[in-house]
Chains A and B, each alone.
Chain A
């Protein structure tokens, strides 16, 4: 039991931190520009594919640096020449723009790398088990993922709270016009934030690609959960996104381990339900089976009872 709890915590933490790498950029972009970037997970996918391609040529480690830079650059260009042009037509146009972009990126990836998963390998240097606990081994690469995510989180926190750039970004979050009046180049700040956000997503792609699966549906499968994180954490709140990421990561991982169903719970209070009762499978489905939809239940509940999210300061 202890073993299960320990490894579930590690797995959940890892998943949560990965989510955070993506959600941090998404939430910053949203709060600054008011754009919910539907293509955000696509930049994560691009990061994984770029990392894969670079790893084929010069190895994994250069890819870890180059892929996020490249994708960040692409992100900045998308903001400069795409979003900024569309911006004058209002938020709906921007939303549709990112929506279309997500499809275009997915199609492009399929054309270039094919529809089946690519063979993105864990680097040899980290291809061993880091430690063994209760006879379960934990791969070194996962430890590396964990450490990278923590390092990025701390770096981001320091950047935003301890530097001049961070000061301007935080000011631009709430009072963009005032910041502009003070002589700062606000569009430039927007472009940078968008680029860095995409770069962070790409970094998540490079570190998740080899451990999970690098395939064209990876963006579509992760995208919806990101919005859950951002809404639950509170739009524009970095600490909120951090907490929400971890909570969702842990909930999803632990839910898999729970075999209780509604029928079991009601059984204790004397109500017997079977598959043939009204409602059928609803009563028999275990928590483990519904694990994938738990985050969305959370989303609905948060929107009803606390539209601001955990740490947000404005309504969704």
Chain B
């Protein structure tokens, strides 16, 4: 009688069994962000960040005594609908931790989806880590126990920016331009309200919304800004919408000061250099390459060397580093990869980040508070961005405790 399996086949079966056991030991985190379309440049950049962080954690022995993390990419094309399709796909593939950051529209959709899913599937909960979507609604009216945000909300950022603008006496006319979706609306609302309160003398000469990530030529908008006579522009634009807006401004020779959220994102620094506006473009971030912190500088240098490529795009999301390090820590202290137990640890976690600064997760709305930096882009800095020779310089540091704002969140913790 012939054996059912020859020895070599037995070996194959054993290898397959081992491989699948190995795969189960992986803790997967799904990266749901735009990897095609207008948001692809930032999505791709973020993906490199996540891979690099996961490699770093695994190289140090992984989590839970030897288990490895694994990042899996899912392309949501920047759309909320597609995000849900991809989130479902990830969950079907056995992923219990989702992360997303580019676009609050997608973030709100995912957060609501996760909340509903967890309600219907007790015992199979999924967590959503948001590293960059900052619409305040996510940690206020639409907050969820399963959603954790590592970035400061749009309101916190606008408060910091307008506090800085308050003392810039040269500002007379401000133009507000943003993307036509939930986050853009939030920025515009906050900018209008806070400017009115802090600088009633400033005139708002423009309040503009344009389609999200669809415009390839901002010249008509720049012509309009120019005609308005504005001396400053406030914008929450990100991705191509930021770099192309700056590029069009450079082409038209627009001489204004820029108060931005994301001018430092992929492609932004190159475009600012083209405008020739030396230390006149500001951004509000939790970190930039010239924040003095030896550990973080070494880390950012190593990333730039490995992933910078021809465009020399360096590290950008300290928030994602905080997120992944806190996630690893939470897994270890929960002694389990069970999302519900991990969430219970993250819920009120305090953490010392790579800058040596204290950050904390607020249990009432799962929003992380951290030091924020208003910084300007120009010459004479130690580290430069995208090979331009220009870099970011801190103008104001706002301590984490000073960024705390109230929340309307009424979080329902699971029983």
Q: Which residues of B contact A119 (CB under 8 A)?
A: 310-311
> Would A115 and B40 be within 8 Å (CB), given that A3-B227, A135-B253, A136-B253 are in contact?
yes
Could you say which residues of chain A place their CB within 8 Å of the CB of B44? 115-116
Contact of A288 among B35, B208, B253 (CB under 8 A): B208
Does A156 reach chain B (CB closer than 8 Å)?
no
Q: State whether A213 touches B240 (Cβ < 8 A).
A: yes
Would you call A217 and B220 a contact (CB within 8 A)? no
B268 to chain A, nearest CB (A): 13
User: What separation, in Å, do the CA atoms of A15 and B219 have in the docked complex?
Assistant: 11
Q: Does any Cβ of A come within 8 Å of B216's Cβ?
A: yes
Question: Does residue A292 face the partner (Cβ distance < 8 Å to B)?
Answer: yes
Is residue B7 contacting chain A, with contact meaning CB distance below 8 A? no
Say if the beta carbon of A110 comes within 8 Å of chain B.
yes
Query: Is A100 part of the binding interface, using a Cβ–Cβ cutoff of 8 Å?
Result: no
CB pair B40–A136 under 8 Å, yes or no, is: no
Q: Give, as a whole number of angstroms, the nearest-CB distance from B7 to chain A.
A: 41
Interface residues in A, total, Cβ within 8 A:
36
C-alpha spacing A115/B180, complex, angstroms: 24
Asked whether, in the complex, the Cβ of B219 is within 8 Å of the Cβ of A11, the reply is: yes
Which of A1, A12, A115, A213 lies in contact with B35, CB distance below 8 A? Answer: A115
- The reply to whether B214 and A211 form a contact with Cβ atoms under 8 Å apart is no
Q: A157 near B: Cβ within 8 Å?
A: no
Q: CA A253 – CA B36 in complex, angstroms?
A: 27
Contact A213 to B220, CB < 8 A, known contacts A116-B41, A116-B44, A136-B253? no
Asked whether A139 is an interface residue with its Cβ less than 8 Å from the other chain, the reply is: yes
Point out the residues of chain A lying under 8 angstroms from B41, CB to CB.
Answer: 116-117
B389 at the binding interface (Cβ < 8 Å):
no
Complex Cα distance, B38 from A252, in Å, reads: 20
Residue of A nearest to B206 (CB): A259
- A38 vs B141: C-alpha distance when bound (angstroms): 44
B302 located at the interface, meaning its Cβ lies under 8 Å from any Cβ of chain A in the complex: no
Cα A252 to Cα B215 in complex, Å, equals 12
A217 touches B38 (CB 8 A): yes
Interface code A213-228, partner B: CB below 8 Å = 1, 0 otherwise? 1011110010000000
Is A212 in contact with chain B by the CB < 8 A criterion? yes
Interface members, chain B 168-212 (any A CB < 8 Å):
180, 208-211
Which residues of B lie under 8 Å from residue A115 when comparing CB positions?
35-37, 40, 44
Contact A256 B226 (CB under 8 A): no
B180: which A residues are within 8 A, CB to CB?
A: 289
Closest CB-CB distance, A123 to chain B, in whole Å?
Answer: 15
Among B37, B216, B255, which residue has the most Cβ atoms of chain A within 10 A?
B216
Distance (whole angstroms) from the CB of A8 to the closest CB of chain B: 6
Residues on A with C-beta less than 8 A from B402 are none
**Cβ-defined contact, A212 with B223, below 8 A:** no
- Of B36, B208, B220, B226, which one neighbours A136 at CB under 8 angstroms? B226
B244 at interface (Cβ–Cβ under 8 A)? yes
Q: Does B382 contact A (CB under 8 A)?
A: no
Cross-chain contact B216 with A253 (CB below 8 angstroms) = no
Residues of B with C-beta under 8 A to A110: 36
Give 1 or 0 for each of B93-117: 1 = CB within 8 Å of chain A CB: 0000000000000000000000000
The verdict on A289 contacting B223 (CB below 8 Å), with A135-B253, A139-B251 known, is no
Segment 49-87 of B: residues with Cβ below 8 Å from A: none
Q: A277 near B: Cβ within 8 Å? A: no
Interface contact B214-A221, CB-CB below 8 Å: yes
- The reply on B221 being an interface residue by CB < 8 A is yes
Inter-chain CA distance A159–B265, complex, in Å, is: 48
The reply to whether B224 and A213 form a contact with Cβ atoms under 8 Å apart is no
Report the nearest A residue to B207, measured CB to CB: A259
Q: Is A165 an interface residue (CB 8 A)?
A: no
Residue of B40, B224, B251 touching A256 (CB-CB under 8 A): B224
Name the one of B40, B216, B219, B244 contacting A218, with C-beta atoms under 8 angstroms: B216
The digit string for A86-121, where 1 denotes a CB below 8 A from any CB of B, is 000000000000000000000000100001110100
The winner among A115, A138, A139, A252 for most chain B CB atoms within 10 A is A115
Known: A4-B227, A129-B253, A136-B253. A212 touches B217 (CB 8 A): yes
Q: Is B252 an interface residue (CB 8 A)?
A: yes
Q: How far is the CB of B385 from chain A (nearest CB, A)?
A: 15
Bound state CA distance, A18 and B222, in angstroms? Answer: 20
Interchain nearest-CB distance for A100 vs B (Å):
19
- B251→A221 contact, CB < 8 A: no
Assess whether B40 is in contact with A215, with CB atoms less than 8 Å apart: yes
Give Cα distance in the complex from A253 to B37, angstroms.
23
In the complex with contacts A11-B219, A136-B253, A213-B244 CB distance below 8 A: yes
Whether the Cβ atoms of B214 and A212 lie closer than 8 Å is no
Taking CB atoms, residues of chain A closer than 8 Å to B40 are: 115-117, 215
Q: Is the CB of B253 within 8 A of A132?
A: yes
The answer to the question of A66 belonging to the interface, with a C-beta cut-off of 8 Å to chain B, is no
- A6 → chain B closest CB, angstroms: 9
Asked whether any CB of chain B lies closer than 8 Å to the CB of A296, the reply is: no
Given A3-B226, A8-B223, A289-B180, A136 contacting B217 (CB threshold 8 A)? no
Q: Does A243 contact B (CB under 8 A)?
A: no
B-side contacts of A288, CB under 8 Å: 208, 210, 224
Hey, what's the 0/1 contact readout for A194-221 against B, CB within 8 Å counting as 1?
0000000000000000011101111001
- Give A95 Cβ to nearest chain B Cβ, in Å: 25
Give, as a whole number of angstroms, the nearest-CB distance from B176 to chain A. Answer: 13
Question: Would B211 and A213 count as touching, CB distance under 8 A?
Answer: no
Residues in B with CB closer than 8 Å to A186 are none
Residues on A with C-beta less than 8 A from B221 are 256
B253–A15 contact, CB under 8 A?
Answer: no
Q: Are A257's CB and B217's CB within 8 A?
A: no
- Chain B residue, CB-CB nearest to A12: B220
Instruction: Give Cα A154 to B38, complex, Å.
Output: 35
Bound CA span A252–B311, Å: 33
Indicate whether A137 reaches chain B with its CB closer than 8 angstroms: yes
Interface string of A256-282 (1 = CB under 8 A from B): 110000000000000000000000000
Q: Indicate with 1 or 0, residue by residue over A132-151, a CB within 8 angstroms of chain B CB atoms.
A: 10011111001000000000
Q: Is the CB of A212 within 8 A of B216?
A: yes
Q: How far is the CA of A116 from the CA of B44 in the complex (A)?
A: 8
Q: List 21 A-B contacts (CB under 8 A).
A: A1-B227, A3-B223, A8-B220, A8-B223, A11-B219, A115-B40, A116-B41, A117-B40, A117-B240, A117-B267, A129-B251, A136-B253, A136-B254, A138-B251, A138-B252, A139-B251, A142-B251, A212-B216, A212-B217, A221-B214, A292-B211
Closest 10 CB pairs of A and B: A137-B253, A4-B227, A256-B220, A212-B216, A115-B36, A7-B223, A116-B40, A116-B41, A11-B219, A139-B251
